[in-house]
């Protein structure tokens, strides 16, 4: 099952549980707009290379389109449609006034120079600038895009519209309109949600083992935060493999080794294991912070974690989700667990629009409130509908989206009769 099909299955399951009007589901099962662009870029060796780029705008029922864009060799339209759809639901889950979008370029960013990446980014902006903007569609960083790339995007867009427009993207460097707290927001939001779950179930971090799959920006920060809360980090992985130590590891030492030698596998903190095998090691909490479709029919029966936190987008297939849930594994779904990133992106956009910037303490306070309220709303819906946390999260989002449709006069309940 593709990532997009997987997303539709999650939507359909929640719609069935809440008895959602079929026309609402039908409307939200299709993106509003899809753009595919060709991007000719002069490479450092003087040769011309043409890249394929995408921007999918899923829904603006609740506000401007919002969603990151990624640079990755396996990017395709199906993946971008799935991510754009998830963004719509993620924003609705938290209650922030955005719709969903996503973008991407099929490329190998690790093999490209800074100059090549800058030229590619500016070409992408030139190709899509007429459909983005601070009040229409606000991109952000995603896989293998970063604050520097956001700065190039903002600069090129500002030149094209002849006006300084910091609010066209979020995730920028602080020096050009970025927000404090944005870099760690995805992980911090995940921690706030996990804390709510543990408080609800009277659980204590001490003595609980954690594995973090995907030791990139979000995964590394998540590992640090959980370690500081007295969780025991027993496993980590990156694209080159995994590391496991049942007695516990220091994430700071692992991060230092990765920076110096290129992979967590070079650290002496634990024993090397296969990157996929790390998912099957014993632990209390498994944090999925890598890519989509990591826990599937192939490995679901080997998962030993009691709780899964989806810090990545779509890391659990529909089949694995059903199997694990039926067997007592709690899955804190992506559209809740990793919504801290888009929430602080919203804060950054608000600050850009009013040219007034908040201190870190205020950012964290606002983020904690939004994530806590989202969890509590979902926990109540889960209890009311006797369903999984994922279904409850989609039900929460569907409820807000359906109300927006109806109130705008554009909903499934406002049918026109043809004489």
CATH number at residue 167: 3.40.50.10860
Q: Considering the domain boundaries, does residue 314 fall inside one? A: yes
Of 175, 194, 220, which marks where a domain is finished?
175
Q: Which of 66, 81, 90, 102 is catalytic?
A: 102
Tell which phi-psi region holds residue 248, choosing left (phi > 0), alpha (psi between -120 and 50) or beta: left
Q: Considering the domain boundaries, does residue 73 fall inside one? A: yes
Using the predicted structure, report yes or no on whether residue 171 has a pLDDT greater than 90: yes
Q: List, for residues 342-397, the tens digit of each pLDDT value.
A: 999 999 999 999 999 999 999 999 999 999 999 999 999 999 999 999 999 999 99
Which positions ≥6 away from 403 have C-beta within 8 Å? Answer: none
Lowest mean pLDDT among 49-58, 301-310, 322-331, 407-416: 407-416
Q: Considering the domain boundaries, does residue 265 fall inside one? A: yes
Residues 275, 169, single domain; the answer is no
pLDDT score at 375: 98
Residues 330, 260, single domain; the answer is yes
Average pLDDT, the chain: 95
Q: Considering the domain boundaries, does residue 416 fall inside one? A: no
Residue 281 is among the residues annotated as catalytic for this protein: no
Q: Are strands 65-66 and 33-42 parallel, antiparallel or unpaired?
A: unpaired
Q: What percentage of the chain exceeds 70 in pLDDT?
A: 98
Lowest mean pLDDT among 256-265, 362-371, 404-413: 404-413
Position 410 confidence tier, pLDDT thresholds 50, 70, 90:
low
The number of distinct structural domains making up the chain is: 2
Position 207 confidence tier, pLDDT thresholds 50, 70, 90:
confident
Residues 102, 210, single domain; the answer is no
Residues 229, 263, single domain; the answer is yes
- What is the mean pLDDT of the segment spanning 246-268? 96
pLDDT score at 418: 35
Q: Considering the domain boundaries, does residue 393 fall inside one? A: no
Q: Considering the domain boundaries, does residue 98 fall inside one? A: yes
Residues 153, 220, single domain; the answer is no
Buried b (16+ CB within 10 A) or exposed e, 384-414: eeebbbbbbbbbbbbebbbebbeeeeebbee
Residue 38 exposed, middle or buried by CB count within 10 Å (0-12, 13-18, 19+):
exposed
Using the predicted structure, report yes or no on whether residue 412 has a pLDDT greater than 50: no
pLDDT score at 1: 77
Residues 201, 160, single domain; the answer is no
Give the ranges where 213-313 is alpha helix by DSSP (H).
217-228, 251-261
Residues 264, 156, single domain; the answer is no
pLDDT score at 419: 33
Q: Considering the domain boundaries, does residue 251 fall inside one? A: yes
Instruction: Supply φ then ψ for residue 16, to 5 degrees.
Output: -65, -45
Residues 95, 227, single domain; the answer is no
Residues 275, 323, single domain; the answer is yes
Q: List, for residues 31-50, the tens digit of each pLDDT value.
A: 999 999 999 999 999 999 99
Residues 201, 128, single domain; the answer is no
Residue 248 sits in a domain of what CATH number?
Answer: 3.40.50.720
State the residue range of the domain holding 52: 31-175
Residue whose entry in the numeric block shows the structure tokens 């903190």: 269
- What is the mean pLDDT of the segment spanning 275-289? 96
Of 146, 175, 204, which marks where a domain is finished?
175
Q: Looking at the DSSP assignment, which residues form a beta bridge with residue 271?
A: 244
Q: What is the pTM of this model?
A: 0.94
pLDDT score at 415: 44
- What is the mean pLDDT of the segment spanning 309-334? 96
Residues 193, 330, single domain; the answer is yes
Residues 79, 131, single domain; the answer is yes
Of 284, 315, 337, which marks where a domain is finished?
337
Q: List, for residues 118-165, the tens digit of each pLDDT value.
A: 999 999 999 999 999 999 999 999 999 999 999 999 999 999 999 999
Q: Considering the domain boundaries, does residue 249 fall inside one? A: yes
């Amino acid at each position: 099952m593709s990532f997009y099909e997987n997303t539709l299955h999650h939507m359909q399951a929640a719609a069935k549980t809440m008895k959602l009007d079929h026309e609402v589901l039908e409307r939200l099962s299709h993106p509003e707009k899809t753009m595919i662009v060709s991007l000719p870029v002069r490479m450092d060796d003087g040769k011309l290379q043409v890249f394929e780029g995408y921007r999918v705008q899923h829904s603006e029922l609740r506000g401007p389109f919002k969603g990151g864009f990624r640079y990755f060799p396996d990017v395709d339209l199906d993946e971008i449609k799935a991510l754009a759809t998830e963004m719509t639901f993620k924003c609705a889950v938290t209650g922030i006034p955005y719709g969903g979008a996503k973008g991407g370029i099929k490329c190998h960013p690790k093999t490209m120079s800074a100059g090549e990446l800058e030229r590619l980014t500016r070409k992408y902006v030139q190709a899509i600038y007429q459909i983005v903007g601070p009040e229409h569609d606000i991109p952000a960083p995603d896989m293998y895009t970063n604050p520097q790339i956001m700065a190039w995007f903002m600069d090129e867009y500002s030149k094209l519209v002849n006006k300084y427009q910091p609010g066209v993207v979020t995730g920028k460097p602080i020096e050009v309109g970025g927000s404090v707290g944005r870099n760690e927001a995805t992980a911090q939001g995940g921690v706030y949600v996990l804390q709510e779950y543990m408080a609800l179930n009277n659980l204590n971090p001490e003595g609980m083992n954690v594995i973090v799959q995907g030791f990139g920006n979000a995964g590394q920060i998540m590992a640090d935060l959980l370690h500081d809360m007295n969780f025991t980090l027993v496993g980590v992985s990156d694209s080159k493999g995994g590391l496991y130590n049942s007695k516990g590891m220091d994430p700071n030492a692992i991060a230092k080794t990765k920076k110096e030698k290129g992979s967590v596998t070079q650290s002496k903190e634990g024993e090397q294991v296969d990157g996929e095998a790390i998912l099957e090691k014993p632990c209390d909490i498994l944090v999925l912070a890598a890519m989509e479709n990591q826990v599937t029919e192939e490995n679901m029966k080997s998962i030993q974690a009691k709780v899964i936190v989806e810090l990545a987008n779509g890391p659990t297939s529909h089949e694995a989700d059903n199997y694990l849930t039926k067997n007592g594994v709690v899955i804190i779904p992506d559209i809740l667990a990793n919504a801290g990133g888009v929430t602080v992106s919203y804060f950054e956009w608000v600050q850009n629009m009013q040219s007034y910037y908040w201190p870190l303490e205020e950012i964290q306070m606002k983020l904690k409130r939004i994530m806590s309220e989202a969890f509590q709303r979902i926990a109540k819906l889960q209890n009311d509908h006797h369903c999984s946390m994922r279904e409850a999260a989609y039900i929460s989002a569907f409820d807000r989206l359906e109300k927006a449709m109806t109130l705008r006069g554009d909903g499934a309940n406002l049918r026109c009769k043809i004489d």
